[in-house]
Amino acid sequence: MTRIPSSASASSTRSVGSGRTIARLAAAATIGALTLLLAGCGQWSWNPVKWFQRPALAGPLLVEVLSIESQSGSPTGERFEQSWDGARLVIDVHSPSGIGKAILRPRDRGWPLRLTFRMHVSALEGFEARAAQNMRISLGSDPLTEPASIDLPYGVVAKDSEQLEVQWVDHYR
């Protein structure tokens, strides 16, 4: 049986004790540093749910498939925006005066397969489209709570139609 001198056992105890003290101090310093770091990040937007969400698009991608020429008497503020909704070309017609007329002509690729007019007017009394066939609709005099969507039936515009003439009148002229 070997005996460890009392001075040797005291030094080994001190080294084990000092190692624990250093570990405790390091843990306390790490926790303190993380606390300060997180306190400083309080003003940052930290939401992991948003990391995997796609940003919302601002609106439909505008295109120029058709050439649109306003024939209105007062075209001030009148504008036409074209966008695709699947295989359908949607034309948003913004008409502050409520009365208007436009001539549409195909550009490079011809007429789209499906065509929709989204009328941004207060109330749509009449809408007329003339090309290979004529079409006229009326939505009455009730105010619109959202834009009126008008799908042109197949055959109103033929492949060989040179132009499409549209005309609209809102109820409050």
Is the same domain home to 90 and 158? yes
pLDDT at 70: 93
pLDDT at 170: 87
Is the same domain home to 34 and 69? no
Is the same domain home to 66 and 43? no
Q: Please report whether residue 44 resides in a domain.
A: yes
Which stretches of the chain score pLDDT less than 50? 8-13
pLDDT at 25: 87
Residues 123 and 120: their CA atoms lie apart, in Å, by 9
On whether the CB atoms of residues 153 and 124 are closer than 8 A, the answer is no
Sign of CA dihedral 128, 134, 139, 144: negative
Is the same domain home to 77 and 141? yes
Here the tokens at position 65 are 């498939």
Which residue range forms the structural domain that includes residue 78? 62-170
Q: Please report whether residue 57 resides in a domain.
A: no
pLDDT at 42: 54
Long-range contacts of 140-143 (CB under 8 A, 24+ apart): 140/171, 141/171, 143/171
Which of these, 103, 65, 101, 104, lies nearest to 82 by C-alpha position?
A: 65
Going by their DSSP bridges, the two strands 114-120 and 88-94 should be labelled as parallel
Is the same domain home to 76 and 152? yes
Is the same domain home to 73 and 154? yes
Q: Please report whether residue 81 resides in a domain.
A: yes
Is the same domain home to 68 and 42? no
Is the same domain home to 148 and 71? yes
Is the same domain home to 34 and 73? no
Q: What separation in angstroms does the CA of 34 have from each of 24, 42, 48, 74, 108?
A: 15, 12, 19, 66, 62
pLDDT at 11: 47
- Number of structural domains, the chain? 2
Is the same domain home to 121 and 150? yes
Compute the CA torsion angle 34, 35, 39, 42 (nearest 10 deg).
60
Q: pLDDT tens across 69-81, in order?
A: 999 887 788 999 9
Residues 151 and 72: their CA atoms lie apart, in Å, by 22
pLDDT at 46: 65
Is the same domain home to 34 and 101? no
Q: Please report whether residue 1 resides in a domain.
A: no
Is the same domain home to 115 and 79? yes
CATH number at residue 112: 2.60.120
